[in-house]
Structure 1
Amino acid sequence: MDRTEKLHITMFPWLAYGHTMPFLEVSKFLAQKGHRISYISTPKNTSRLPKLPPHLSSNLSFVEFSLPHVHGLPPGVESTSDVPIDEVTYFKRAYDKLRDPLSDFFKNSNVNWIIHDSLPYWLLDIAALLSVNLVFFSIFNASMSAFVGLPSALLVDRQKRLEDFTVVPEWIDYPCNNVAFKLYEIVNY
C-alpha cells in the first residue's frame, strides 16, 4: 500500500468509558495523519466524549447507532456505567444486535479498515464478506492478556469458578506469582 494513500477507518469500541476514550485517542491520532475516521458509538456515549479540536473535525466524525432494546435491559441504557453488573448480560445482547445496522453501514461506506474492541465476535464474518481489513485494538496490558489466555484456552472454559482466577494459569510458563486475582478482586467480575 502506498504510504500516502488516505484510508477510511471505522473505530468500534465496547460501550464503556474506559474503552471509548482510548479509541478516541487513536482516532484523533489517525485523523491527524489525514485518514477519514468514522467513530461508531451510541448518541449518549458520543455526547460524553470531549469536543474535538477544530482541525480534526473534517477527518473525524461520529456515527451514532441507537442501542437496540432487549428484554431485561432498562430503557435509556447505552453504556456499562448505566447498568448494574448483574445486568451486563442484557447489555451485551443489545450490543450484539448492532450487527445488522453496522453491516449495512460498512457495505455502504467504502471502509478500508475496521478497528474494533474485544466483544464484537461477529465482525469477523462481516469484514470477511466485505473484504475489509479488521484490526483488534486491546485496551488491556500484556499481563491481563496473558492471564486471560489464548482463544483456544477460552474455548475450553477452564476458568469456571471464582477460585480458578486466583492462581497463575497453566499456560503461563514462566515463574511469577502476581499474575492472578485476589478473591475479593474477581468477585464482581
Structure 2
Amino acid sequence: MHEIAFGLELAGTSFLWALRKPHDEGIQEQAVLPSGFGGRTRGRGLVATGWAPQLSVLAHGSVGAFMTHCGWSSTIEGLLFGHPLIMLPFLGEQGINARLMEKKQVGAMVPRRETDGSFDRDGVARAVRGVMSDEGGRVLQTNAKKLQELAMDKGCHDRYIDEFVQYEILTRATGTHRK
C-alpha cells in the first residue's frame, strides 16, 4: 500500500483512491498509508475508505484513467467508459487480462521487479504518468475508446449469446457435445 501511495504522490496527478478498510480490526486506517500522505496530496488526491460507487466514479467526466487490478469485471467497467487502464494485477487471471489489455494498447502495466515480483513507487509513478501524458496517453485513450464501442455493442453481445445457444443445441442434438 505504501508503494502505491508513494507512486501516486510522485506521479503528481490528481487521483481518487478507493481503498478498502483493513480486514484486521486492530489495524487503523491511517497505518495503511504513509505518515503525512494525506497532507502532501491534499488538493489533488482523495482517499475514500470502504465501498465506493465504482460505476458512478468511472462515469464522471473528470476521470482520465482507471488504476485496476484487472479482474475481468473491473477491466470491462473501465472500458465501458473508454478509460485507459493503469494495471496492477495481483491474483489469478488478472495478469492474463492485463497482458491482453497491454497488447491491445489500452493501458500500461505497473512494472514488477524480476527478483521478487514486487513493484515500487517509481514503477507506479511511471505507469501513471505514461497513461496520463499527452504523448503516450492519447494512443491509449484512442484505443480504449475503440474498445468502449465494442464493450457497449449490445447487438454484438446478443449475437454471441445466440451463437452459443445454437452451438449447444446443435452439439447436443448430434451427440458431439464435449463434457
* Structure showing greater Rg: 2
Higher RCO, 1 vs 2 (CA within 8 Å, ≥6 residues apart): 2
TM-score (norm 2): 0.41
TM-score (norm 1): 0.39
